[in-house]
Homo-oligomer: A and B are copies of this chain.
Amino acid sequence: MTPRWCLLPWRLLGGSRLDREIRVGLCGCGVIGEGLVTALLQHADVITERVGAPVRLAAVADKDPARLDIVRAQDERIALVDDAFELAQRDDVDVVVELIGGVEVADRLVRAALGAKKHVVTANKALLAERGAALFALAEANGCDLYFEAAVAGAIPVIRVVRESLASDHILSVRGIINGTSNYILSSMANEGAAFADALKAAQEAGFAEADPTLDITGGDSGHKLAILAGLAFGARVLPGEIPTEGIEQVDPRDIQYARNFGYVIRPLAIAERLEGGALDLRVHPALVPEGDPLAHVDGALNAVAIQGEMVGPSFLSGLGAGAGPTATSVAGDIIDIAKNSLAGAPVRTWNFPSKNDQEIQEIADLSSRYYLRFSVRDDSGVLAALSGKLGDSGISIEQMVQHVDAGDEGTASIAMLTHHAREGDVRDSLHAVDATDLTTAPTHLIRIVE
Protein backbone atom coordinates (compact mmCIF):
# COMPACT_ATOMS: atom_id res chain seq x y z
CA MET A 1 0.00 0.00 0.00
CA THR A 2 1.08 3.55 -0.56
CA PRO A 3 2.34 5.06 2.69
CA ARG A 4 -0.48 7.24 3.98
CA TRP A 5 1.82 10.01 5.21
CA CYS A 6 1.93 11.43 1.72
CA LEU A 7 -1.62 12.58 2.31
CA LEU A 8 -0.59 14.68 5.28
CA PRO A 9 0.93 17.78 3.73
CA TRP A 10 -2.17 19.50 2.53
CA ARG A 11 -4.27 18.28 5.38
CA LEU A 12 -1.63 19.64 7.79
CA LEU A 13 -1.66 22.93 5.94
CA GLY A 14 -4.96 23.28 7.70
CA GLY A 15 -7.10 24.18 4.72
CA SER A 16 -10.50 22.62 4.44
CA ARG A 17 -11.45 21.53 0.95
CA LEU A 18 -13.67 24.56 0.60
CA ASP A 19 -10.63 26.87 0.72
CA ARG A 20 -9.64 25.44 -2.63
CA GLU A 21 -11.29 25.54 -5.99
CA ILE A 22 -10.85 23.78 -9.30
CA ARG A 23 -10.60 26.16 -12.22
CA VAL A 24 -11.92 25.07 -15.61
CA GLY A 25 -10.94 26.45 -19.01
CA LEU A 26 -13.30 25.66 -21.89
CA CYS A 27 -12.04 25.58 -25.50
CA GLY A 28 -14.86 25.67 -28.03
CA CYS A 29 -18.21 27.12 -27.08
CA GLY A 30 -20.60 25.56 -29.59
CA VAL A 31 -23.73 23.65 -28.65
CA ILE A 32 -22.02 21.34 -26.13
CA GLY A 33 -19.77 24.09 -24.80
CA GLU A 34 -22.78 26.26 -24.11
CA GLY A 35 -24.39 23.32 -22.33
CA LEU A 36 -21.29 22.99 -20.16
CA VAL A 37 -21.34 26.70 -19.31
CA THR A 38 -24.95 26.28 -18.21
CA ALA A 39 -24.16 23.17 -16.16
CA LEU A 40 -21.19 24.71 -14.36
CA LEU A 41 -22.95 28.00 -13.62
CA GLN A 42 -26.47 26.83 -12.83
CA HIS A 43 -25.54 23.67 -10.95
CA ALA A 44 -22.62 25.19 -9.03
CA ASP A 45 -24.38 24.38 -5.73
CA VAL A 46 -24.74 20.66 -6.29
CA ILE A 47 -21.27 20.39 -7.85
CA THR A 48 -19.63 22.10 -4.86
CA GLU A 49 -21.50 19.80 -2.52
CA ARG A 50 -20.49 16.65 -4.40
CA VAL A 51 -16.85 17.63 -4.98
CA GLY A 52 -16.30 19.18 -1.57
CA ALA A 53 -14.90 22.33 -3.21
CA PRO A 54 -16.10 24.80 -5.82
CA VAL A 55 -15.53 24.07 -9.51
CA ARG A 56 -15.28 27.46 -11.22
CA LEU A 57 -15.44 28.20 -14.94
CA ALA A 58 -12.41 30.50 -15.15
CA ALA A 59 -11.95 30.99 -18.90
CA VAL A 60 -13.59 30.31 -22.24
CA ALA A 61 -11.91 30.36 -25.66
CA ASP A 62 -13.76 30.63 -28.96
CA LYS A 63 -12.99 32.32 -32.26
CA ASP A 64 -16.53 33.61 -32.56
CA PRO A 65 -17.00 36.82 -30.51
CA ALA A 66 -20.78 36.33 -30.54
CA ARG A 67 -20.40 33.08 -28.62
CA LEU A 68 -18.14 34.79 -26.08
CA ASP A 69 -20.75 37.52 -25.66
CA ILE A 70 -23.29 34.89 -24.65
CA VAL A 71 -20.89 33.64 -21.97
CA ARG A 72 -20.13 37.19 -20.78
CA ALA A 73 -23.83 37.83 -20.33
CA GLN A 74 -24.07 34.91 -17.93
CA ASP A 75 -21.04 35.69 -15.75
CA GLU A 76 -18.74 38.61 -16.45
CA ARG A 77 -15.96 37.27 -14.24
CA ILE A 78 -15.11 34.54 -16.79
CA ALA A 79 -11.98 35.38 -18.80
CA LEU A 80 -12.79 35.34 -22.54
CA VAL A 81 -10.13 34.74 -25.19
CA ASP A 82 -10.16 33.99 -28.89
CA ASP A 83 -7.18 31.64 -28.81
CA ALA A 84 -7.57 28.16 -27.35
CA PHE A 85 -3.80 27.72 -27.19
CA GLU A 86 -3.51 30.82 -25.03
CA LEU A 87 -6.20 29.40 -22.72
CA ALA A 88 -4.34 26.10 -22.43
CA GLN A 89 -1.33 27.93 -20.93
CA ARG A 90 -3.19 30.14 -18.45
CA ASP A 91 -2.05 30.03 -14.83
CA ASP A 92 -5.63 30.34 -13.62
CA VAL A 93 -6.78 27.14 -15.33
CA ASP A 94 -6.37 23.65 -13.84
CA VAL A 95 -8.53 21.61 -16.21
CA VAL A 96 -8.75 22.25 -19.97
CA VAL A 97 -11.92 21.06 -21.74
CA GLU A 98 -11.37 20.41 -25.46
CA LEU A 99 -14.60 20.77 -27.44
CA ILE A 100 -13.21 22.16 -30.70
CA GLY A 101 -13.45 18.82 -32.55
CA GLY A 102 -11.44 17.60 -35.54
CA VAL A 103 -8.15 15.79 -35.20
CA GLU A 104 -5.10 17.91 -36.06
CA VAL A 105 -5.75 21.15 -34.17
CA ALA A 106 -7.37 19.32 -31.27
CA ASP A 107 -4.32 17.06 -31.05
CA ARG A 108 -1.98 20.07 -30.83
CA LEU A 109 -4.25 21.73 -28.28
CA VAL A 110 -4.46 18.69 -26.00
CA ARG A 111 -0.66 18.30 -26.23
CA ALA A 112 -0.19 21.96 -25.35
CA ALA A 113 -2.51 21.65 -22.35
CA LEU A 114 -0.85 18.46 -21.07
CA GLY A 115 2.57 20.05 -21.64
CA ALA A 116 1.45 22.93 -19.43
CA LYS A 117 0.47 20.34 -16.75
CA LYS A 118 -3.24 20.85 -17.18
CA HIS A 119 -5.68 18.00 -16.81
CA VAL A 120 -7.76 17.52 -19.96
CA VAL A 121 -11.34 16.49 -20.64
CA THR A 122 -12.32 15.85 -24.26
CA ALA A 123 -15.43 14.64 -26.08
CA ASN A 124 -13.43 14.08 -29.28
CA LYS A 125 -13.89 10.46 -30.42
CA ALA A 126 -11.95 10.87 -33.67
CA LEU A 127 -8.95 12.28 -31.82
CA LEU A 128 -8.93 9.47 -29.26
CA ALA A 129 -9.57 6.71 -31.77
CA GLU A 130 -6.67 7.91 -33.93
CA ARG A 131 -4.19 9.32 -31.39
CA GLY A 132 -5.42 8.09 -28.00
CA ALA A 133 -2.41 5.94 -27.11
CA ALA A 134 0.12 8.75 -27.67
CA LEU A 135 -2.00 11.29 -25.79
CA PHE A 136 -2.41 9.03 -22.79
CA ALA A 137 1.32 8.40 -22.66
CA LEU A 138 1.87 12.16 -22.70
CA ALA A 139 -0.73 12.68 -19.97
CA GLU A 140 0.94 10.14 -17.71
CA ALA A 141 4.40 11.59 -18.36
CA ASN A 142 3.07 14.98 -17.27
CA GLY A 143 1.24 13.65 -14.21
CA CYS A 144 -2.10 14.72 -15.67
CA ASP A 145 -5.52 13.15 -16.04
CA LEU A 146 -7.13 12.73 -19.46
CA TYR A 147 -10.86 11.93 -19.35
CA PHE A 148 -13.26 11.29 -22.24
CA GLU A 149 -16.62 9.90 -21.10
CA ALA A 150 -18.52 12.14 -23.54
CA ALA A 151 -16.61 10.77 -26.53
CA VAL A 152 -18.71 7.59 -26.63
CA ALA A 153 -22.51 7.46 -26.45
CA GLY A 154 -23.10 10.94 -25.01
CA ALA A 155 -24.86 10.68 -21.69
CA ILE A 156 -24.40 6.93 -21.28
CA PRO A 157 -21.59 6.37 -18.78
CA VAL A 158 -20.19 3.42 -20.70
CA ILE A 159 -16.52 4.39 -20.35
CA ARG A 160 -16.81 4.58 -16.56
CA VAL A 161 -18.80 1.35 -16.40
CA VAL A 162 -16.32 -0.61 -18.52
CA ARG A 163 -13.25 0.82 -16.80
CA GLU A 164 -14.51 0.78 -13.23
CA SER A 165 -17.69 -1.17 -12.54
CA LEU A 166 -16.77 -4.15 -14.72
CA ALA A 167 -13.02 -3.85 -14.17
CA SER A 168 -12.76 -7.29 -12.57
CA ASP A 169 -14.68 -9.14 -15.24
CA HIS A 170 -13.71 -10.68 -18.55
CA ILE A 171 -15.88 -8.85 -21.03
CA LEU A 172 -17.31 -11.18 -23.66
CA SER A 173 -19.14 -8.75 -25.92
CA VAL A 174 -20.18 -5.14 -26.34
CA ARG A 175 -23.07 -4.29 -28.65
CA GLY A 176 -24.32 -0.79 -29.04
CA ILE A 177 -26.48 1.70 -30.84
CA ILE A 178 -23.92 4.50 -30.60
CA ASN A 179 -24.91 6.79 -33.43
CA GLY A 180 -28.11 8.67 -32.66
CA THR A 181 -28.48 10.10 -36.17
CA SER A 182 -28.57 6.64 -37.79
CA ASN A 183 -30.97 5.32 -35.19
CA TYR A 184 -33.23 8.34 -35.60
CA ILE A 185 -33.33 7.84 -39.38
CA LEU A 186 -34.01 4.08 -39.22
CA SER A 187 -36.65 4.67 -36.54
CA SER A 188 -38.49 7.23 -38.63
CA MET A 189 -38.26 4.99 -41.69
CA ALA A 190 -39.87 2.26 -39.56
CA ASN A 191 -42.53 4.48 -38.02
CA GLU A 192 -43.47 6.42 -41.14
CA GLY A 193 -42.47 4.09 -43.95
CA ALA A 194 -40.28 6.86 -45.37
CA ALA A 195 -37.46 6.23 -47.83
CA PHE A 196 -33.90 6.76 -46.61
CA ALA A 197 -33.38 10.09 -48.41
CA ASP A 198 -36.64 11.54 -47.08
CA ALA A 199 -35.94 10.34 -43.54
CA LEU A 200 -32.47 11.89 -43.70
CA LYS A 201 -33.89 15.20 -44.85
CA ALA A 202 -36.47 15.18 -42.04
CA ALA A 203 -33.73 14.36 -39.52
CA GLN A 204 -31.69 17.31 -40.75
CA GLU A 205 -34.68 19.61 -40.46
CA ALA A 206 -35.39 18.35 -36.93
CA GLY A 207 -31.77 18.96 -35.92
CA PHE A 208 -30.98 15.25 -35.49
CA ALA A 209 -28.57 15.13 -38.45
CA GLU A 210 -25.76 17.48 -39.47
CA ALA A 211 -25.75 19.39 -42.74
CA ASP A 212 -23.00 16.96 -43.80
CA PRO A 213 -24.19 13.68 -42.29
CA THR A 214 -21.58 11.49 -44.03
CA LEU A 215 -19.67 10.38 -40.93
CA ASP A 216 -22.91 9.38 -39.20
CA ILE A 217 -24.74 7.53 -41.95
CA THR A 218 -21.70 5.68 -43.30
CA GLY A 219 -20.92 4.25 -39.88
CA GLY A 220 -17.64 6.19 -39.54
CA ASP A 221 -18.69 7.88 -36.32
CA SER A 222 -19.74 4.55 -34.78
CA GLY A 223 -16.39 3.12 -35.91
CA HIS A 224 -14.47 5.78 -33.97
CA LYS A 225 -16.51 5.09 -30.87
CA LEU A 226 -16.24 1.32 -31.23
CA ALA A 227 -12.47 1.57 -31.58
CA ILE A 228 -12.32 3.33 -28.21
CA LEU A 229 -14.83 1.01 -26.55
CA ALA A 230 -13.25 -2.20 -27.85
CA GLY A 231 -9.85 -0.95 -26.77
CA LEU A 232 -11.05 -0.47 -23.20
CA ALA A 233 -13.14 -3.64 -23.06
CA PHE A 234 -10.50 -5.93 -24.51
CA GLY A 235 -7.27 -4.16 -23.59
CA ALA A 236 -6.07 -3.88 -27.17
CA ARG A 237 -5.53 -0.88 -29.35
CA VAL A 238 -7.92 -0.91 -32.31
CA LEU A 239 -7.80 1.62 -35.13
CA PRO A 240 -11.07 2.69 -36.80
CA GLY A 241 -9.69 1.66 -40.21
CA GLU A 242 -9.44 -1.94 -39.02
CA ILE A 243 -13.18 -2.22 -38.32
CA PRO A 244 -15.43 -3.62 -41.08
CA THR A 245 -17.95 -0.80 -41.44
CA GLU A 246 -21.21 -0.41 -43.36
CA GLY A 247 -23.59 2.53 -43.23
CA ILE A 248 -27.36 2.60 -43.24
CA GLU A 249 -27.76 4.15 -46.72
CA GLN A 250 -28.65 0.81 -48.34
CA VAL A 251 -31.53 0.04 -45.98
CA ASP A 252 -34.82 0.10 -47.90
CA PRO A 253 -38.24 0.64 -46.30
CA ARG A 254 -39.13 -2.84 -47.62
CA ASP A 255 -36.31 -4.32 -45.55
CA ILE A 256 -37.74 -2.74 -42.44
CA GLN A 257 -41.21 -4.07 -43.24
CA TYR A 258 -40.09 -7.59 -44.19
CA ALA A 259 -37.85 -7.76 -41.12
CA ARG A 260 -40.83 -6.81 -38.96
CA ASN A 261 -42.87 -9.61 -40.52
CA PHE A 262 -40.13 -12.02 -39.43
CA GLY A 263 -40.17 -10.51 -35.90
CA TYR A 264 -37.11 -8.27 -36.16
CA VAL A 265 -36.24 -4.58 -35.96
CA ILE A 266 -33.39 -3.01 -37.98
CA ARG A 267 -30.94 -1.06 -35.80
CA PRO A 268 -27.56 0.54 -36.56
CA LEU A 269 -25.21 -1.59 -34.46
CA ALA A 270 -21.59 -1.50 -33.40
CA ILE A 271 -20.28 -4.84 -32.17
CA ALA A 272 -17.14 -6.02 -30.43
CA GLU A 273 -16.89 -9.61 -29.37
CA ARG A 274 -14.06 -11.86 -28.20
CA LEU A 275 -14.01 -15.04 -30.29
CA GLU A 276 -12.93 -18.40 -28.92
CA GLY A 277 -9.53 -18.35 -30.58
CA GLY A 278 -8.76 -14.93 -29.11
CA ALA A 279 -9.44 -12.82 -32.21
CA LEU A 280 -11.96 -9.98 -31.99
CA ASP A 281 -15.14 -9.82 -34.05
CA LEU A 282 -15.52 -6.07 -34.68
CA ARG A 283 -18.09 -4.53 -36.99
CA VAL A 284 -20.39 -1.60 -37.62
CA HIS A 285 -23.51 -2.16 -39.73
CA PRO A 286 -27.30 -2.10 -39.73
CA ALA A 287 -28.59 -5.38 -38.31
CA LEU A 288 -31.80 -7.30 -37.72
CA VAL A 289 -32.36 -7.52 -33.96
CA PRO A 290 -35.13 -9.75 -32.50
CA GLU A 291 -38.14 -7.78 -31.23
CA GLY A 292 -37.59 -9.08 -27.70
CA ASP A 293 -34.00 -7.81 -27.50
CA PRO A 294 -33.53 -4.68 -25.33
CA LEU A 295 -31.76 -3.02 -28.28
CA ALA A 296 -34.98 -3.35 -30.32
CA HIS A 297 -36.74 -0.96 -27.92
CA VAL A 298 -34.12 1.77 -28.28
CA ASP A 299 -35.96 4.18 -30.50
CA GLY A 300 -35.24 7.54 -32.09
CA ALA A 301 -32.17 9.49 -31.00
CA LEU A 302 -31.51 7.24 -27.99
CA ASN A 303 -28.23 5.37 -27.70
CA ALA A 304 -27.71 2.11 -25.88
CA VAL A 305 -24.92 -0.30 -25.02
CA ALA A 306 -25.40 -3.95 -24.05
CA ILE A 307 -22.39 -5.55 -22.38
CA GLN A 308 -22.03 -9.24 -21.64
CA GLY A 309 -19.50 -10.16 -18.98
CA GLU A 310 -18.31 -13.59 -17.94
CA MET A 311 -19.37 -13.11 -14.31
CA VAL A 312 -21.63 -10.08 -14.39
CA GLY A 313 -23.93 -11.49 -17.08
CA PRO A 314 -25.96 -9.06 -19.18
CA SER A 315 -25.67 -5.35 -18.52
CA PHE A 316 -27.64 -2.75 -20.44
CA LEU A 317 -27.36 1.04 -20.49
CA SER A 318 -29.35 3.57 -22.47
CA GLY A 319 -29.71 7.33 -22.67
CA LEU A 320 -29.42 10.27 -25.02
CA GLY A 321 -26.38 9.96 -27.25
CA ALA A 322 -26.04 13.57 -28.25
CA GLY A 323 -27.29 17.07 -27.49
CA ALA A 324 -26.06 19.88 -25.26
CA GLY A 325 -27.44 18.74 -21.89
CA PRO A 326 -26.58 15.03 -22.03
CA THR A 327 -23.08 15.52 -23.47
CA ALA A 328 -22.28 18.41 -21.12
CA THR A 329 -23.35 16.26 -18.17
CA SER A 330 -20.79 13.63 -19.18
CA VAL A 331 -18.08 16.29 -19.58
CA ALA A 332 -18.99 17.78 -16.19
CA GLY A 333 -18.87 14.31 -14.60
CA ASP A 334 -15.29 13.99 -15.85
CA ILE A 335 -14.37 17.43 -14.51
CA ILE A 336 -15.79 16.43 -11.13
CA ASP A 337 -13.77 13.21 -11.14
CA ILE A 338 -10.60 15.15 -11.91
CA ALA A 339 -11.47 17.68 -9.21
CA LYS A 340 -11.85 14.86 -6.68
CA ASN A 341 -8.56 13.31 -7.80
CA SER A 342 -6.79 16.63 -7.47
CA LEU A 343 -8.25 17.45 -4.08
CA ALA A 344 -7.18 14.03 -2.85
CA GLY A 345 -3.69 14.73 -4.18
CA ALA A 346 -3.78 11.96 -6.73
CA PRO A 347 -3.99 12.71 -10.42
CA VAL A 348 -3.32 9.94 -12.94
CA ARG A 349 -5.53 7.63 -10.98
CA THR A 350 -7.04 5.90 -14.00
CA TRP A 351 -5.43 3.15 -15.98
CA ASN A 352 -4.27 4.00 -19.41
CA PHE A 353 -5.49 3.63 -22.91
CA PRO A 354 -4.31 0.44 -24.62
CA SER A 355 -1.26 1.11 -26.78
CA LYS A 356 -0.38 -2.26 -28.32
CA ASN A 357 -1.92 -2.65 -31.76
CA ASP A 358 -1.35 -6.41 -31.94
CA GLN A 359 -4.92 -7.66 -31.72
CA GLU A 360 -6.10 -10.11 -34.37
CA ILE A 361 -9.38 -8.97 -35.93
CA GLN A 362 -11.62 -11.43 -37.74
CA GLU A 363 -12.01 -10.92 -41.49
CA ILE A 364 -15.64 -10.17 -42.23
CA ALA A 365 -15.65 -13.02 -44.81
CA ASP A 366 -14.97 -15.42 -41.92
CA LEU A 367 -17.94 -14.20 -39.87
CA SER A 368 -20.44 -16.90 -38.95
CA SER A 369 -23.88 -15.32 -38.80
CA ARG A 370 -27.48 -15.66 -39.81
CA TYR A 371 -28.50 -13.37 -42.66
CA TYR A 372 -31.55 -11.58 -43.98
CA LEU A 373 -31.54 -11.59 -47.79
CA ARG A 374 -33.80 -9.68 -50.15
CA PHE A 375 -33.86 -10.88 -53.76
CA SER A 376 -35.44 -8.86 -56.55
CA VAL A 377 -36.79 -11.44 -58.97
CA ARG A 378 -39.09 -11.86 -61.96
CA ASP A 379 -42.60 -12.69 -60.78
CA ASP A 380 -42.57 -16.08 -62.51
CA SER A 381 -43.41 -19.52 -61.28
CA GLY A 382 -40.24 -21.53 -60.94
CA VAL A 383 -38.04 -18.64 -59.80
CA LEU A 384 -38.44 -19.53 -56.15
CA ALA A 385 -37.52 -23.17 -56.72
CA ALA A 386 -34.54 -22.25 -58.88
CA LEU A 387 -33.30 -19.77 -56.29
CA SER A 388 -33.59 -22.16 -53.35
CA GLY A 389 -31.85 -24.80 -55.41
CA LYS A 390 -28.91 -22.53 -56.18
CA LEU A 391 -28.51 -21.49 -52.54
CA GLY A 392 -28.83 -25.09 -51.37
CA ASP A 393 -26.09 -26.13 -53.79
CA SER A 394 -23.73 -23.65 -52.08
CA GLY A 395 -24.64 -25.03 -48.65
CA ILE A 396 -26.74 -21.99 -47.64
CA SER A 397 -29.60 -23.29 -45.56
CA ILE A 398 -32.87 -21.32 -45.61
CA GLU A 399 -34.83 -20.92 -42.39
CA GLN A 400 -37.79 -18.80 -43.53
CA MET A 401 -38.80 -17.33 -46.87
CA VAL A 402 -41.63 -15.04 -47.97
CA GLN A 403 -42.44 -13.83 -51.48
CA HIS A 404 -43.86 -10.30 -51.78
CA VAL A 405 -45.25 -8.89 -55.02
CA ASP A 406 -43.74 -5.43 -55.44
CA ALA A 407 -46.28 -2.65 -55.55
CA GLY A 408 -45.82 -0.53 -58.63
CA ASP A 409 -43.25 -2.79 -60.23
CA GLU A 410 -45.26 -4.88 -62.69
CA GLY A 411 -43.77 -8.33 -63.21
CA THR A 412 -41.24 -8.22 -60.39
CA ALA A 413 -41.33 -9.60 -56.89
CA SER A 414 -39.22 -9.54 -53.76
CA ILE A 415 -38.22 -12.65 -51.91
CA ALA A 416 -37.24 -12.04 -48.29
CA MET A 417 -35.35 -14.81 -46.60
CA LEU A 418 -33.67 -15.64 -43.30
CA THR A 419 -30.77 -18.10 -43.46
CA HIS A 420 -29.39 -20.42 -40.86
CA HIS A 421 -25.82 -19.77 -39.71
CA ALA A 422 -23.34 -19.59 -42.56
CA ARG A 423 -19.88 -18.22 -43.30
CA GLU A 424 -20.26 -14.77 -44.80
CA GLY A 425 -17.71 -15.36 -47.55
CA ASP A 426 -19.69 -18.39 -48.72
CA VAL A 427 -22.96 -16.44 -48.66
CA ARG A 428 -21.43 -13.58 -50.66
CA ASP A 429 -20.01 -16.01 -53.23
CA SER A 430 -23.38 -17.67 -53.55
CA LEU A 431 -25.21 -14.35 -53.98
CA HIS A 432 -22.65 -13.31 -56.57
CA ALA A 433 -23.43 -16.46 -58.54
CA VAL A 434 -27.19 -15.91 -58.24
CA ASP A 435 -26.94 -12.27 -59.29
CA ALA A 436 -24.99 -13.35 -62.37
CA THR A 437 -28.01 -15.35 -63.58
CA ASP A 438 -31.23 -13.87 -64.92
CA LEU A 439 -33.14 -15.01 -61.84
CA THR A 440 -32.60 -11.66 -60.12
CA THR A 441 -33.39 -8.27 -61.61
CA ALA A 442 -31.22 -6.24 -59.20
CA PRO A 443 -28.33 -7.00 -56.81
CA THR A 444 -29.43 -9.02 -53.82
CA HIS A 445 -29.46 -7.16 -50.54
CA LEU A 446 -27.91 -8.68 -47.40
CA ILE A 447 -28.32 -7.57 -43.78
CA ARG A 448 -26.75 -9.46 -40.90
CA ILE A 449 -28.87 -10.78 -38.04
CA VAL A 450 -27.57 -10.15 -34.53
CA GLU A 451 -29.13 -12.07 -31.64
| Cβ of A278 to closest chain B Cβ, rounded Å | 14
Residues of chain B with a CB closer than 8 A to A318's CB: 294, 315-316
Interface residues of A in 252-290 (CB under 8 A from B): none
State the interface size on chain A (CB cutoff 8 A). Answer: 80
CA distance A117 to B3 in the complex (A): 12
A90: interface (CB < 8 Å): no
Do the beta carbons of A344 and B336 come within 8 Å of each other?
Answer: no
Contacts of A10 in B (CB 8 A): 2-3, 6
CB distance from A330 to the nearest CB of B (A): 7
The segment from A131-139, A160-168, A189-197, A377-385 that touches chain B is A160-168
Contact A3 B9 (CB under 8 A): yes
Bound-state CA distance A335–B143 (Å) is 24
Interface flag for A115 (CB, 8 Å): no
- The contact string, 1 if C-beta is below 8 Å from chain B, for chain A 298-341, is 00001000000111111111111001011011101101110011
A98 close to B (CB within 8 Å):
no
Contact B340 A344 (CB under 8 A): no
User: Contact at A348–B344, with CB atoms within 8 Å?
Assistant: yes
A297 sits at the interface (CB 8 A): yes
Is A62 on the interface with B (CB-CB < 8 A)?
Answer: no
Is A149 at the interface (CB under 8 A from chain B)?
yes
Q: Report Cα–Cα, A117/B5, bound state, in Å.
A: 13
A342 / chain B contacts, CB cutoff of 8 Å: 1-2
Chain B residue with the shortest CB-CB distance to A5: B9
Choose, from A49-57, A414-422, A429-437, the stretch at the interface: A49-57
- Please choose the segment from A39-47, A203-211, A215-223, A392-400 that sits at the chain B interface, where 4 or more of its residues have CB less than 8 A away: A39-47
Which residues of chain B are within 8 angstroms of A348 by Cβ–Cβ distance?
344
Q: How far is the CA of A289 from the CA of B243 in the complex (A)?
A: 40
Q: How far is the CB of A163 from chain B (nearest CB, A)?
A: 7
Verify if A155 is at the interface (C-beta below 8 Å from B).
yes
**Are B351 and A349 touching (Cβ within 8 A)?**
no
Verify if A346 is at the interface (C-beta below 8 Å from B): yes
State which of B165, B314, B340, B350 has its C-beta within 8 Å of the C-beta of A350: B340
The answer to whether the Cβ of A96 comes within 8 Å of any Cβ in the partner chain is no
Q: How far is the CB of A356 from chain B (nearest CB, A)?
A: 12
Q: Which chain A residues have a beta carbon within 8 Å of chain B's beta carbons? A: 1-10, 20, 22-23, 35, 38-40, 43, 46-47, 49-52, 94, 117, 143, 149, 155-157, 160-161, 163-170, 235, 294, 297, 302, 309-320, 323, 325-326, 328-330, 332-333, 335-337, 340-351
